Structure formats: structure tokens, C-alpha cells
Structure 1
């Protein structure tokens, strides 16, 4: 089956997705990497050059026009489920798993992130936590449409396989 991992940036979709795909012996696909292959540059560069609206449209096109294997684990960007009909589309194409974490835990992870995240550029401390809390509140409606919600701390592929 196709498994789409959703959740806010920094919750571990890519890290956990790779572990889950290995456990299931299926391919792991990162939507951001597909976008980078398509554009020939980084997500951050595309975002900075073309803006969020253009990025979200491209993200939808790549998501919905990619011929994903029948069995795969696909990690999406944090905002992907929240725009257009992406969440409904993913729910129709496979199982969706929302990796949930509190804003403070996400902020702790993001402050040490190796890669630049366009939406949080320049945010630190309380500003970062407030931004995450606001975005989570707005996105929760979409994230909660997932087939399964998991606590982002101590994710275990074995437990998820049993739940699926």
C-alpha cells in the first residue's frame, strides 16, 4: 500500500519514513526531493524566487501527477496536505499518517536543523514557537483527516506496521 506521511516540518517524516520503508521493504519517496529534481534547485531557492503560492501549486502538481508505486512510503512537505485538495487526494490514493508533536518540541528540533526552512527563516525562541503554534492551529483541520495519528516521539516502525 501507499503510505503518505504528513505533519509539520521537523516532526521526522523523512527520518521515520526511511525506517518504515526499510521495514516494509518498499521504496521511500520524499516529495521535496521530487520537486528539487523537477526544478533543478532547492525547495528553499524556489520558494524564495517564486513565492509560496507558486510553490504550493508546483507541489500539488508534483504530488498528484507523479505515478507513485503501489507500495511505497511517501514523505510530504508540512504544508502539502493543507492546500488545494491534496489531503483528500492522498486519502484516496493510500493510507495517510499524521505525525503529531507539540510546538515546543518542533521548535527544539528546528532550531538545530541543518537545512534552511523558508517559512521560519530568521525566527528564534518565542517567535518561532508562536509561529509554529499558529500554523499548527491552522493546519490541524487538514492533518486530522489522516487515517492514523502518531505521537512523533519515539516512533517505531514495528508498531506502525501492526497498526496498518
Structure 2
């Protein structure tokens, strides 16, 4: 893993949370936003609200490519928002323009977890079916393992900070992030 980059923090900043499914982007994002007194935005929820459809239905009706186009437009609309924690979809970093936008427009925190933790969370979450449709025709273990391996270099390259969410509680993770951000500011 490359050394963590020192993000350039500005008074009116955005924090982008990236990571694979069920690594805690929404949970941590809401808590972090509260602690920092920031707004919170989840790109997947914005897409569902704007389209009036679940991610599953968008993918079933229009395919993953159309979903990724909508996702990119949603991300690019964050350009002028400030003091916001943005939880992104797990695959958003697969697009070069998205990665460049995230790095140029805020602090990127990669929330990572081991595969066992991810699978446990996926199976426990009632929203998984509608919010996290299958990405391949493989079984869940094979799909998760393969996609994490494919995406890892992109998460690493985009992130200013990496946090392992499989070993800490959400509150502990928020405190770790807050401390790291404060250290960078000083």
C-alpha cells in the first residue's frame, strides 16, 4: 500500500467516502457529518430519489452502463457544494474522470474491510437486494473477491486516507478520521 497522501484541507471542504459495498460509507458518513457539523449526501440515495426507482430497477431496466452515467452526473453535481460528506457508490472509482474529480474536489477517504466482514454485512442488510444488485453472474463470494481485487488499485490511487472498518466500531472510525483530519490541518 502506498503511503497516505496529505490532503489539502480548505475551510469549505468536501469529504468523499469511497470503498466497496458494505464497508460503512453511509453509516460512517452520517456520523462523520454530524461530528463535523457538515451536510451528508449519499450518491446512491440521490439517484434513487431523482429517478424514483431503486438501483436494482434502474439496472434491470437500463443496465449498469446507464446507472454509471447517472452516477457520474450525480457526482459532478457536487462540484460547488461545501462542508459535506459524500458517500459514493462502490464502483464510482472505476471511471477515470470520477477519480480525478474526487481527488481534485475534496478529501477522499477509502473505507476498507476484509472480505469476511463485507459478506457478513451484505447478508445481514435487508436493503442489499434493491440497493446492491449483482454485478456479475458469479456467486457472491467470487464476485466480491474478484471485484475487490480489480478495484483496490483505484481505491488506493484515489484515497488520501485509508481506514479499515472491519476492526473498529463506527464511532471509533469517526474519531480516527476526525483526528487524522485535524492532524493534517495543523
Q: TM-score, normalised by structure 2?
A: 0.81
C-alpha distance 122-138 of structure 1, shift in aligned 2 (>3 A):
closer
In structure 1, what is the equivalent of residue 133 of structure 2?
118
**1:23-67 superposed Cα distances (whole Å, 9 cap, x missing partner):** 001111010111112211111111111000111111101111245
Indicate yes or no: 2:165 matched with 1:148: no
For the Cα contact (< 8 Å) 1:60–1:84, is it kept in 2? Answer: no
1:104/1:129 contact within 8 Å kept: no
Partner of 1:17: 29
**Cα separation, 2, equivalents of 1:47 and 1:65:** 21
Residue 53 of structure 2 corresponds to 41
| Residue-pair matches, total | 161
Q: CA RMSD in A?
A: 1.7
Q: Secondary structure at the match of 1:41?
A: coil
Report the counterpart of residue 76 of structure 1 in structure 2. Answer: 88
Structure 1 runs (4+) deviating above 3 angstroms are: 120-123
| Structure 2, unpaired ranges of 5+ | 1-12, 182-186
The match for 2:119 among 97, 107, 111 is: 107
- Residue 91 of structure 1 corresponds to 103
CA distance, structure 2, for counterparts of residue 84 and residue 70 of structure 1: 23
What's 2:75 paired with? Answer: 63
Q: Which residue of 1 aligns with 2:177?
A: 160
**Aligned-pair CA distance for 1:84:** 4.0
Give CA deviations for 1:94-149 in whole Å, capped at 9, x if unaligned.
000001111121011101111112126997xxx32221110001101110021111
